[in-house]
Structure 1
Amino acid sequence: MSVTEFPPLLSEEDLQKYKVPLRWRDRCAAYFALYHTCLIRQTANSSVDCKHDKHAWEECQNLDFIRRQKELKEAKEKRRAELNES
């Protein structure tokens, strides 16, 4: 599975239900919740494999990082353009 877009944001109730830590409550929280749920299942049944869920979550994190880099670059370019005009 290739992550090409972000999942819908989780509600506050869902974030608490899936015990998503504050540091992971971002655009990829839904993937973290799936991964965390898989890890819980894995402790009960060792035949469960969570590599796919972990990969999807990490890929989403990477996609979000790239998005934030682009936003920062655009903001810097906009600021430079504003400074050059004045």
Structure 2
Amino acid sequence: MSSETTASQAELQAAKVPLGWRDQCSSLLIPLNVCRRKNYYLPWECEDERHVYEKCQYEDLLRRMKKLSKIKTAEREQSE
């Protein structure tokens, strides 16, 4: 995971980010949503912000999958 700072709960609440979207990448979602609103959600606008956010989401998914794999391996080794 890259070294982005996480947004505080107050910032997320002020930006009206739903609870389901508050994760490691939520600090990147705030400027993406601002750009989307400013540009009327046009799909060709805000591509850079969207790419950065989606990359963060992908890296977070990989991190969680790796962690789960380690847990499962440890459980298998314990049961043997």
Taking structure 2 as the reference length, the TM-score comes to 0.86
2:58 match: secondary structure: helix
Aligned counterpart, 1:18: 15
Query: Equivalents in 2 of 1:20, 1:27: separation in Å?
Result: 13
Query: Equivalents in 2 of 1:15, 1:54: separation in Å?
Result: 18
Aligned counterpart, 1:60: 56
Structure 1 residues 6, 62: closer, same or farther in 2, change over 3 A?
farther
Check conservation: 1:6, 1:27, Cα contact below 8 A.
no
Runs of 4 or more above 6 Å deviation? none
Check conservation: 1:9, 1:30, Cα contact below 8 A.
yes
Q: How far apart are residue 17 of structure 1 and its match?
A: 1.2
- CA RMSD between the two structures: 1.8
Query: Equivalents in 2 of 1:83, 1:31: separation in Å?
Result: 41
Taking structure 1 as the reference length, the TM-score comes to 0.81
Aligned partner letter, 1:62: Y
Q: What runs of 5+ residues in structure 2 fail to find an aligned partner?
A: none
Aligned residues: 78
